[in-house]
């Protein structure tokens, strides 16, 4: 059973129960009121029979008021019987009425003084009276034809109204559910169309405020989920594509060298040269694989508010030390353009290992493409931002290549004679942006390449 049908049935059932309960209460109260009203009329008739038989003129104002209210109009099929205290019948109306005395009933009437009971469809009221020296019993019986007719009419009206109301509520609930859930149905249809081959398709968000419209909220959340999935799939595809593309060249080179070596009778020296060449290719493959894995790993990391406070200058010093261990001939000059006013200006919230990786890659890139194996790092620290400049002299990047400089596997025209994979700057950009910063490149003084890293203070 669909959710729509279940909702309609449950809503209709609940409303029907409330409606039927209300009708039952109304009917019960009305029936009880009719019964009490008719009993009072029978009491008035019975009291009248008693006072008439004994020729009593009652002076009780309360009794006179009750008689005035309930005496007019005799009940349909009215019968009355008057007994003395010894249960002897003194008077019957009509006179031909044959009444059999019920001793147990008479005792009950005497105990209660006023007893109300039913005999079939008729109602009866029994009175025990001791007024003005006359003790006796009066039993009045009648049929409330008009009251019962009104009760039957009320019952029929309530049944008709209940059926009509339940049908109306059911149809309205069905229509309302169809209208309300139509966006969900459309959303479901659109979701079924989205597969792994067209993850870029998005569902229609529709109109409305996401804070107050749950359908819009669901659509937005679903689209956001698709964005994350598409990004993850794209990263995976890029990784596989780039890895297969970049690994193809060293593998082909290694295969060619191996086949060539197998066809020849190599001397020990020649074999050693081949092995050295294969070792270089293998090292190149290892570096490429590590770079790809590193880039993929950083793509999946997100900013964390729990990161500790890190001093940028200390991270740069550590990165410089690491670069000098790897490249003994590197020459790095690190200085401040001006002494920071406060030590806090040098601190940001960040992940120190990631920042070291970013700075190492920038330093490595500047060293590799410099014409004198030297670079200068200058730092400016202010209350609202930290600027770090990495400068080196050497071939500059063409203006048309600058926009693609930080793309994975892109290498500018100045890198034609240098080994590399074009992943270092992509890793740098991802890490800096992860820390809510920016990294840019520009040419200054004609032949100076400058990379500027900017961190904004909270």
Structure tokens at 181: 């859930």
Between the alpha carbon of residue 289 and those of residues 30, 227, 301, 408, 418, the distances in Å are 88, 27, 19, 13, 18
Are 354 and 319 contacting, i.e. CB atoms less than 8 angstroms apart?
Answer: no
% the chain with pLDDT above 70: 81
**Token reading at 271:** 């074999």
**β 448-456/385-393 pair status:** antiparallel
Q: Which of 35-39, 50-54, 66-70, 89-93 has the lowest mean pLDDT?
A: 66-70
**What would the pLDDT profile of 158-206 be if each residue is shown by its tens digit?**
888 888 888 888 888 888 777 777 777 777 777 777 776 666 667 676 6
What DSSP assignment string belongs to 230-275?
HHHHHHHHHHHHHHHHHHHHHHHHHHHHHHHHHHS---HHHHHHHH
Closest CA to 289 of 244, 350, 228, 356: 244
In the numeric block, which tokens belong to residue 125?
């009221």
Is 70 exceeded by the pLDDT of residue 301?
Answer: no
Tokens representing 142? 């009648």
Model pLDDT, residue 416: 44
Distance CA 149, CA 153 (A): 6
Q: Within its chain, how far is the Cα of 285 from the centroid?
A: 47
| CB of 432 closer than 8 Å to CB of 451 | no
C-beta of residue 434 within 8 angstroms of C-beta of residue 354: yes
On the question of pLDDT at 241 being above 80, the answer is no
Structure tokens belonging to residue 456: 């904004």
Q: What pLDDT is stored for residue 404 in this prediction?
A: 72
Q: Exposed e or buried b for every residue in 147-166, given b needs 16+ CB within 10 A?
A: bbeebeebeeebeeeeeeeb
CA dist 355 and 127 (Å) reads 104
The pLDDT of residue 388:
93
DSSP structural state of residue 308: P
CB 396 within 8 A of CB 411: no
Instruction: Return phi, psi of residue 420, to 5°.
Output: 160, 175
What does the alpha-carbon distance between residue 216 and residue 209 come to, in Å, rounded to a whole number? 7
For residue 296, which of 412, 404, 408, 439 has the smallest C-alpha distance? 408
* pLDDT reported for residue 284: 65
pLDDT of 374 over the 60 cut: yes
As its CATH architecture, domain 3-150 has 2-Layer Sandwich (3.30)
Q: Quick one: which of 317, 346, 310 has its CA closest to 334?
A: 317
User: Per-residue pLDDT tens for 196-233?
Assistant: 666 666 767 666 665 666 777 777 787 788 777 777 67
Contact assessment for residue 55 and residue 133, using Cβ atoms and an 8 Å cutoff: no
Query: What is the DSSP code (8-state) at residue 409?
Result: T
Average pLDDT over residues 78-87: 86
- Report the CATH fold assignment for 214-299: Helix Hairpins (1.10.287)
Return the pLDDT at 239: 60
The pLDDT of residue 198: 66
Q: How confident is the model at residue 262 (pLDDT cuts 50, 70, 90)?
A: confident
Question: How many H helices and E strands in the chain?
Answer: 10, 12
* Of residues 287, 293, 290, 285, the one with CA closest to residue 235: 293
The overall average pLDDT reported for the chain is 79
Give the Cα separation of 359 and 441 in Å (integer): 14
Q: Strand, helix or coil at 367?
A: helix
Q: Is the pLDDT of residue 437 over 80?
A: yes
The pLDDT value recorded for residue 422 is 58
> pLDDT tens digits, residue range 115-166?
888 888 888 888 888 877 788 888 888 888 777 777 888 888 888 888 888 8
Decide: 312 and 346 in contact? Cβ < 8 Å: yes
- pLDDT score, position 440: 92
Query: Domain spanning 309-456 has what CATH number?
Result: 3.30.565.10
Domain boundaries, the chain: 3-150, 214-299, 309-456
Sign (positive or negative) of CA dihedral 92, 97, 103, 106: negative
Residue scoring higher pLDDT (19 or 332) = 332
Tens of pLDDT, residues 384-422: 899 999 999 988 887 777 777 777 655 555 544 455 455
């Amino acid at each position: 059973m669909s959710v729509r049908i279940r909702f309609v049935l449950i809503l209709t059932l609940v409303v029907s129960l409330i409606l039927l309960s209300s009708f039952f209460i109304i009917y019960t109260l009305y029936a009880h009121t009719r019964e009490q009203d008719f009993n009072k009329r029978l009491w008035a008739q019975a009291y009248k029979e008693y006072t008439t038989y004994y020729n009593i003129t009652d002076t009780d104002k309360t009794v006179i008021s009750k008689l005035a209210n309930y005496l007019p109009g005799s009940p349909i099929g009215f019968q009355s019987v008057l007994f003395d205290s010894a249960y002897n019948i003194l008077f019957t109306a009509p006179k031909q009425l044959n009444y059999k005395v019920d001793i147990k009933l008479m005792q009950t009437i005497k105990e209660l003084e006023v007893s109300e009971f039913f005999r079939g469809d008729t109602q009866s009221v029994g009175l025990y009276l001791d007024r003005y020296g006359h003790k006796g019993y009066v039993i009045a019986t009648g049929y409330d034809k008009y009251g019962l007719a009104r009760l039957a009419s009320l019952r029929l009206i309530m049944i008709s109204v209940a059926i009509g109301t339940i049908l109306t509520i059911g149809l309205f609930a069905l229509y309302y559910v169809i209208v309300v859930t139509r966006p969900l149905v459309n959303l479901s249809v659109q979701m079924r169309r989205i597969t792994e081959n067209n993850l870029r398709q998005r569902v229609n968000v529709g109109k409305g405020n996401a804070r107050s419209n749950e359908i819009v909220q669901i659509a937005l959340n679903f689209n956001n989920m698709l964005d994350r999935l598409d990004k993850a799939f794209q990263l995976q595809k890029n990784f596989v594509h780039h890895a297969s593309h970049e690994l193809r060249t060293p593998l082909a080179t290694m295969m060619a060298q191996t086949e060539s070596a197998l066809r020849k009778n190599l001397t020990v020296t020649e074999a050693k040269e081949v092995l050295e060449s294969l070792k270089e290719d293998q090292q190149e493959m290892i570096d490429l694989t590590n770079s790809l894995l590193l880039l993929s790993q950083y793509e999946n990391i997100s900013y964390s508010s729990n990161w500790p406070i890190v001093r940028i200058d200390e991270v740069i010093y550590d990165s410089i030390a690491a670069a000098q261990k790897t490249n003994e001939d590197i020459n790095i000059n690190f200085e401040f353009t001006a002494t920071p006013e406060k030590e806090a200006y040098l601190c940001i919230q960040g992940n120190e290992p990631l920042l070291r990786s970013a700075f190492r890659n920038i330093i490595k890139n500047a060293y590799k493409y410099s014409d004198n194996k030297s670079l200068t790092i200058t730092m400016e620290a202010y209350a609202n931002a930290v600027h770090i400049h990495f400068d080196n002299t050497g071939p500059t990047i063409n203006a048309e290549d600058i926009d693609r400089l930080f793309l994975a596997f892109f290498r500018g025209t100045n890198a034609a004679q240098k080994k590399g994979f074009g992943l270092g700057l992509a890793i740098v950009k991802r890490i800096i942006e992860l820390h809510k910063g920016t990294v840019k490149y520009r040419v200054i003084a004609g032949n100076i390449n400058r990379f500027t890293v900017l961190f904004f203070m909270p």
